[in-house]
Structure 1
Amino acid sequence: MGLLFEDGNFHLFAQGFLRTIELSALSALFALLLGILLAAFRVSPVPVLRAFGTGWVTVFRNTPLTLLFFAATFVLPRLDLHISSFTAAVVALSAYTGSFVCEVLRSGINTVPLGQAEAARSLGMNFGQTLGLVVLPQAARAVIAPMGSVFIALPRNSAIAGAFNVPELFSVQKTLTEKGHDIFAIFFWLALAYLVISFAVGAVFGTLERRAAVAR
């Protein structure tokens, strides 16, 4: 316990912890929105949209996250898109995680019987209405557990941001190491903090899964 409560270390830990939560929450929100859009593209009857969705997922799922951070931090400014290091981290995490969200949603969409969409179209609904009002609500129940796995991994992935000038939780270890603190104690508290975040996210998705099961 001594490590946390000497030389202002607790404040440093708290700042990093809250920054990681903020980074993860914003990235999760944008990744979810992006994933829904990409999933709609991938099941769209328009060939160009399907090709775009497939291309995005193929590229971003198979590109190392560190490389995406490098592109968001150093390449975007060369395109006159000047953003902060924090915003660049959100962009990289959202683009990467959004591709996984897309595939989880697409797998859920594939579990919905085709007759559901056909019935919606017979009532005069267009593609957007059918997807948003009929297919996605049913698919959501099937993807809660795998979606939880995607978002549990997000805070751990955000640790890369510390190498790109974002003062998040993992970057705290550099400051504490420079102060001469024991490296094992530092990583113990960091691991514990990430476990707390992971368990919290898991608990949220566990609750959603139980409620969805009751609603069936």
Structure 2
Amino acid sequence: MEQLLSTILRAIFVDNMIFAYYLGMCSYLAVSKNVKTALGLGIAVTFVLVCTLPINYMLENYVLKEGALSWLGADFGSINLSFLSLIIFIAVIASFVQLVEMVVEKYAPSLYASLGIFLPLIAVNCAILGGSLFMQQKAFPNVGIATAYGFGSGIGWLLAIVGMAAIREKLQYSDVPKPLKGLGITFIITGLMGIAFMSFSGIKI
């Protein structure tokens, strides 16, 4: 339980997908103009991460990496399919994004219209793929820890985009210098928020 909590907190604050690695910046910058829309996309990203990371973890450890197929018999122990991991991970992610897109379109058409092209683009959101690749790199001991990492990464991304959306809504009433309006001030705020989140890296979690 302690390791699960530590993994979640670290993924949210220390290894934040936006502020530590700047992954998923395209959707982050484009959709963070409205809190409601940003919240919807953040929840969708979290859902996809929570669903795809354990599946990709199981595929990595029981199908793809060297020796993963040994459960089929000694003859399969030397097979190494790790060169397929990127393609397999993307296929799993794309499948779940399609599912999310259909559910949102059916039950929240206004949110679907607000997100526009950025909802199907979750499939190529590098924060989602980054979660699976980091999972592969970190070699988590079990699927529960991998799922906790996916949940924490999703919540961290959600906090980042909702926080930015809240700030950008307030900026509409602020006297921002004309050359900095739009993406200029957004990049500056993102950098400042990233510096703020760096303070968590000194905390032992």
Measured against the shorter chain, the TM-score band is 0.3 to 0.5
* TM value normalised by structure 1: 0.35
Larger Rg: 1
* TM value normalised by structure 2: 0.36
